[in-house]
Amino acid sequence: MQLMKVFGLMSVMTALFVLAGNYIGGSSFAILFFVIALVMNVGAFWFSDRAVLKMYKAQIIGPEDAPELYAMVDRLRQRAELPMPTVAIAPQQQPNAFATGRNPEKAVVCVTIGLMNSVNARELEGVIAHELAHIKHRHMLVGTLAAVMAGAITMVGSILRWGFLLGGGRRNDGNPIVMLAMAILAPIGALIIQMAISRQNEFQADATAVQISGDKEGLQSALRRIQEAATRVPMAVNPAAAHMAIINPFSGGRSMPFAKLFSTHPPTEDRIEAIAKVELDPA
């Protein structure tokens, strides 16, 4: 169900792009900018593991460096039927974690020092299972596709605005008010859809994590602990990598309802409630 919602949102975003492209001076011009956005985002996706590790200043570890953590990842990835990911530790004191990599064979699971020092084994299992769920569902790929479409729509919107300011383009028969409205609203709509996809991915990863670990309370407790820490312990990381963390490291507490539309993560309490409703597969 969650996957169908994601693909539905992607379809809406694609429709927004096509609609906006109809107001450009020729479809080939719109396609050109879509290709530029595609190349930029696919390039970022292809090298995402190294780039994100660098953003978090994380170090790759082996079984001799953190044997309990490594063994936990190995045990849970076998339950998830995944290849062994690269394991890394970031030096940040804020408890948090993320997964990255272009596919399960090139995946990375990273936890912060703060997480290892502040959660118990049961909570850590829930967090690791959540990150493995992102890998299992290829959420990095879904996020990249969403970013490609959102970036392309933003480019189209920018072209439309310039065309309006310069007196219109090739499509002189177009309604300038419609063109201006499209230029302003299409990128906003694309961003809202991109954030909605990100939030759906978090819900799906939470639900799958429960199936991998066989435990609801560990992940619920970890989410509460990490959310509380995010409001008081700063995270020194590039904001571009914030959406990858299990809890947005820059979340400063409750936000206004309208602001949720532009949030990369669902409210933590909503996630905890959704986890409670997950039905565990019979052993």
Catalytic one of 81, 131, 217, 269: 131
- Examine residue 252 and state whether it is found in any structural domain, yes or no: yes
- Examine residue 265 and state whether it is found in any structural domain, yes or no: yes
Q: Can you tell me whether residue 97 is helix, strand or coil?
A: strand
Which amino acid, residue 161?
R
How sure is the predictor about 42, in pLDDT bands with cuts at 50, 70 and 90? Answer: low
- Examine residue 153 and state whether it is found in any structural domain, yes or no: yes
Q: Which residue has the higher pLDDT, 39 or 206?
A: 206
- Examine residue 91 and state whether it is found in any structural domain, yes or no: no
pTM for this model (two decimals): 0.78
Task: Decide: 269 and 250 in contact? Cβ < 8 Å.
Answer: no
- Examine residue 16 and state whether it is found in any structural domain, yes or no: yes
Instruction: Render pLDDT for 45-75 as a digit per residue (tens, 0 to 9).
Output: 666 677 778 888 999 999 999 999 999 999 9
Q: Six-digit token pair at 184?
A: 């302003």
Distance of CA 10 to the CA centre of its chain: 14
d(CA 58, CA 97): 11
d(CA 226, CA 249): 9
- Examine residue 193 and state whether it is found in any structural domain, yes or no: yes
Residues of the domain holding 195: 2-48+126-276
- Examine residue 64 and state whether it is found in any structural domain, yes or no: no
Is 273 noted as a catalytic residue in this protein?
Answer: no
Q: Which residues pair with 59 in a beta bridge?
A: 89
Q: Six-digit token pair at 88?
A: 């890394």
- Examine residue 56 and state whether it is found in any structural domain, yes or no: no
Instruction: Render pLDDT for 225-277 as a digit per residue (tens, 0 to 9).
Output: 999 998 888 887 777 677 789 998 887 555 555 667 778 899 999 999 999 99
